Structure 1
Amino acid sequence: MTKTLTFKNAELAPVGNFLATLSLKNKASRGRTKLIKFISTKNDEYNEDRKEALEPFFKDGELLKDAAGNVDQENNAKAAKVAAEIEVEPAVIEFTEYSDKMKALYEAISDYSGELSDTDATIYDLLMDQLETAFENEKEGK
Structure 2
Amino acid sequence: MKTTIEFKNSELAGLANVLGGFKLKGKASLGRSVLIRKFAKKQEEISDDLVDIQKKYFETKEDGSLRVFENSDGKLIPKSKLADKKDPKKLGEKAAKELDDEIKNLNNEVSIINFSEYSPRFKALKVALEDYPYELESNSAIAYERVYDQLEQAFSKGDK
TM-score (normalizing by structure 1): 0.92
**Equivalence for 1:39:** 39
Q: Quick check: 1:42–1:91 contact (8 Å CA) kept in 2?
A: yes
- Per the alignment, residue 69 of structure 1 pairs with 87
d(CA) in 1 for partners of 2:54, 2:157: 38
Question: Cα 1:2–1:97, aligned 2, differ >3 Å: closer, same or farther?
Answer: farther
Distance 1:66 1:27 in 2: 55
What is the alpha-carbon root mean square deviation over aligned residues?
1.4
1:63 deviates by 5.6
Shift of 1:46: 1.0
Aligned partner letter, 1:69: D
Where do 4+ consecutive residues of structure 1 move more than 3 Å?
none
1:95 is aligned to 115
Letter aligned with residue 122 of structure 2: M
SS at match of 2:134: coil
What residue is the counterpart of 1:28 in the other structure?
Answer: 28
From the CA coordinates, give the structure whose radius of gyration is larger.
Answer: 2
Deviates further, 9-18 or 66-75 = 66-75
Count of aligned positions:
140
Q: Percent of counterpart pairs with the same letter? A: 33
With normalisation by structure 2, the TM-score equals: 0.82
2:148 corresponding residue in structure 1? 128
- 1:12-36, CA deviations, whole angstroms, 9 ceiling, x for partnerless residues? 1111111101111111111111111
String of CA shifts for 1:85-126, please: whole Å, max 9, x gaps: 011111000000010000001100111111211121111111
Residue pair 1:8, 1:91 contacting (<8 A) in 2 also: yes
Unaligned runs of 5+ in 2: 60-66, 69-75
